Structure 1
Amino acid sequence: MSTVTPKIEFRGLSHRFELGAGDFAALDDVDLSIAEGEFVTVVGPSGCGKSTLMNAAAGLLTPTGGEVLVDGAAVHGPSPQRGVIFQQYALFPWMSVRKNVEFGLKIAGVGQAERRAKAQHFIDLVGLTDFADALPRTLSGGMKQRCAIARAYAVDPTVLLMDEPFGALDALTRVQLQDRLLDTWSRDRRTVMFITHDVDEAVYLANRVIVMAARPGRVHQVIDVGLPYPRSEEIRLSPEFAELRRQVWHAVYHQPTTLEGSP
């Protein structure tokens, strides 16, 4: 019987950061598989290695142990097939929204007419049509993040890696961008790994919630989210959502305390 290769696979992933008086285990022997087209959220207490896990998948960090595979191939450095979106927008301040979204396409050698058409498609998709020629300094935080999402999508990655992309936004804008992200994801079903510290966000977006434990960072619990898509305010207010939220909250904030080096 044939087996399906995971889109993203972490095999025995470990990473230690060197500190002045020694080193610190950010991740310890993490095994995790993410399927093609799956939307997975990763949540956990401070210091559990969420961002380290994502940076390893992005190829921005070389783990000290284990490996990350995408489509069965080991990750060695960044790739345009893995779009990365951070909490900080990292837009070029001197470029318009359009030029920011076109940038990756230009680097890839896409011709002017094609990259303009592609950029416009994703600018429209994230709702920035009227601001295509605006500079980042004139945009709100939510609009800047939408621009960053459009730029990541424009280079047509098969995987989106998102590190608390809505963490700095106000509550209303955050909810609006969650819905817009899910609407975009429902159209193309790219594989998404989304890091968050917000339990409600983790449940609302995901097929599965990966709960991490800290010191050292490891997978503590995996919780399946059986809520139907498209997600809505009605689902957010449902008893089923409340029960899943309770499960995730308990898994995150009622873990036994395990400090590295303690018995």
Structure 2
Amino acid sequence: MTSTPAKISVQHVTKTFSLGRETFTALDDVSLDIANHEFVTVVGPSGCGKSTLMNILAGLEAPTSGRALVDGAPVSGPGPERGVIFQQYALFPWLTVRQNVEFGLRTTGVPKRERRARAEHFIELVGLERFADALPKTLSGGMRQRCAIARAYAVDPSILLMDEPFGALDALTRVKLQEQLLKTWSQDRRTVLFITHDVDEAVFLANRVVVMAARPGRVYDVVDVDPAIERDEAFRLSPEFAALRNRVWRSVYHQEGRTAALSGSHSPTS
């Protein structure tokens, strides 16, 4: 747990779902504190409740018991202080990049001149200034995800909740977007909770890696990564990275002597 006041606090959260006459426990007594400006990744086997945890923090699901707090206040629904980014981009196909980024600002009544300036700033921040007037269908998958990130940033959330945002991308694009995300985060530090099933991605991005255990979902291990380490190719190839990766890998695949199978499935409790 962090020593500074928590930006996000998950306190003894349990979440159950009804499946016909049976009840399935997705999360079981999960507690986790995340400090302001911290970048935390969550990794674990399929069915460990990663996405359920994020949905609770996003206000899209309510816990069965326990509570989730943001800045000390209980989460009771979606809020502008939390930007949510999914794997599927969720862009409006009939709007340009600029119009997509401006959308949330327009719905909250931000004046045209201000929303244009803010949109331009974040479009440039993610490197899409040459494509501001392009429609999503003309962009690559990586560019669409950068547009989704810019849109989330534009409404000025203090927290980014990211649910496997790079999971559908090819390996090279994924690496480039990991580096782009860290560059953006270093310039405008938000608190980030990043869900992934990729161990390398979890270690490369995080200040802390939270490993979840499945059925029922719970915190199994927490691995600290020195925030002073430069996240570049040299780090990816270093003995330090290998040691961290191996520890997280063992925690995910060999929990309590069992072999946990990671998969790319996206069930409601993945």
Range class of TM-score, shorter chain: over 0.9
Deviation at 1:175, TM superposition (A): 0.4
Separation in 1 of the partners of 2:74 and 2:235?
Answer: 38
For 1:6, give the aligned amino acid: A
What does residue 108 of structure 1 align with? 108
Deviations 1:150-209 (A, max 9, x none): 000000000000000000000010000000000011112210000000000000000000
For 1:59, give the aligned amino acid: G
Deviation at 1:229, TM superposition (A): 4.0
For 2:147, give the aligned amino acid: C
Deviations 1:118-157 (A, max 9, x none): 0011011111111101111111100000000000000000
Separation in 2 of the partners of 1:150 and 1:248?
Answer: 30
- Label 1:228 to 1:5 Cα distance change in 2 as closer, same or farther (>3 A): closer
What does residue 155 of structure 1 align with? 155
Deviations 1:47-75 (A, max 9, x none): 00000000000101111111000000000
What does residue 183 of structure 2 align with? 183
Deviation at 1:227, TM superposition (A): 5.6
Separation in 1 of the partners of 2:4 and 2:206?
Answer: 21
Deviation at 1:98, TM superposition (A): 0.4
| 1:142/1:177 contact within 8 Å kept | yes
What does residue 231 of structure 1 align with? 231
* 1:1-263 equivalences in 2 (<5 Å): 4-226=4-226, 228-256=228-256, 257=258
- Label 1:4 to 1:234 Cα distance change in 2 as closer, same or farther (>3 A): closer
- Label 1:35 to 1:233 Cα distance change in 2 as closer, same or farther (>3 A): same
For 1:173, give the aligned amino acid: T
- Label 1:78 to 1:134 Cα distance change in 2 as closer, same or farther (>3 A): same
Separation in 1 of the partners of 2:171 and 2:228?
Answer: 23
What does residue 261 of structure 1 align with? none
- TM-score normalized by the length of structure 2: 0.93
Taking only aligned residues, the RMSD between alpha carbons, in angstroms, comes to 1.4
For 1:136, give the aligned amino acid: P
Unaligned runs of 5+ in 2: 260-270
Separation in 2 of the partners of 1:227 and 1:74?
Answer: 29
| 1:105/1:154 contact within 8 Å kept | yes
Unaligned runs of 5+ in 1: 259-263
Point out 4+ residue stretches in structure 1 off by more than 3 angstroms.
Answer: none
Deviation at 1:5, TM superposition (A): 2.4
Deviation at 1:226, TM superposition (A): 1.9
| 1:227/1:241 contact within 8 Å kept | no
Separation in 1 of the partners of 2:152 and 2:134?
Answer: 18
| 1:7/1:70 contact within 8 Å kept | yes
- Label 1:24 to 1:186 Cα distance change in 2 as closer, same or farther (>3 A): same
Deviation at 1:230, TM superposition (A): 3.2
Separation in 1 of the partners of 2:102 and 2:229?
Answer: 31
